[in-house]
Amino acid sequence: MQPLVLRSAVARHTAAVAALPQALTIEDGNDRDGIPALTGELPRSASRPLRLVLRVHNAAGVPIVAGETRVDAGATRIEFRDLRALGIEAYAHVPAEERVRIARRIWSRRAYGVIESGA
C-alpha cells in the first residue's frame, strides 16, 4: 500500500515541528473502526514533548479523518493509532459493522495528510 504523503502545514508553531517526515506508513491490518494506524519517524529527535495533530484530506482538500498523538522528548517515532472518520457520529444509529464499512469508504478517498503541532 502507498504511504500517506504529508503536505506542509501553513502555520508551524515550533522549530521542532518543522522537521517532520514526508510521509507516514499505513499499517495494514492494524485498523481501529475501519481506519488503519499510521506510523513514521521524525528526521531528528524531538527536543521537547510534542502533541501532533493529523488531518487527512480528500483530493478536494476537505478533511475526512483526524487524530492526534504525543511524542516524548528525545523520541523519533510517530504513531497515530486512534484516527477517526470525521462526521462518523452521524451514523450512530446504524450497526457497528456498517459504521466500519462507512469509515473504510471514507478512508479510501484519502489524498494527503497535514500534521501540525497542537498547543
Domains of the chain, residue spans: 4-87
Give the pLDDT confidence score for residue 2 in this predicted structure: 79
Pairing mode, strands 4-7 and 110-117? parallel
Query: Cα dist. 51→43, 57, 71 in Å?
Result: 17, 20, 6
Asked if the model's pLDDT at residue 15 lies above 90, the reply is: no
pLDDT of 1: 62
- 27-43 average pLDDT score: 87
In the structure, how many helices (H) and strands (E) does the chain have?
A: 2, 8
Across 57-64, average pLDDT:
96
**pLDDT tops 50 at residue 12:** no
Q: What integer best gives the mean pLDDT of the chain?
A: 87
- Structure confidence at residue 100 (pLDDT): 92
> 48: how many CB neighbours lie within 10 A of its CB?
10
Query: pLDDT tens across 76-99, in order?
Result: 999 999 999 999 889 999 999 999
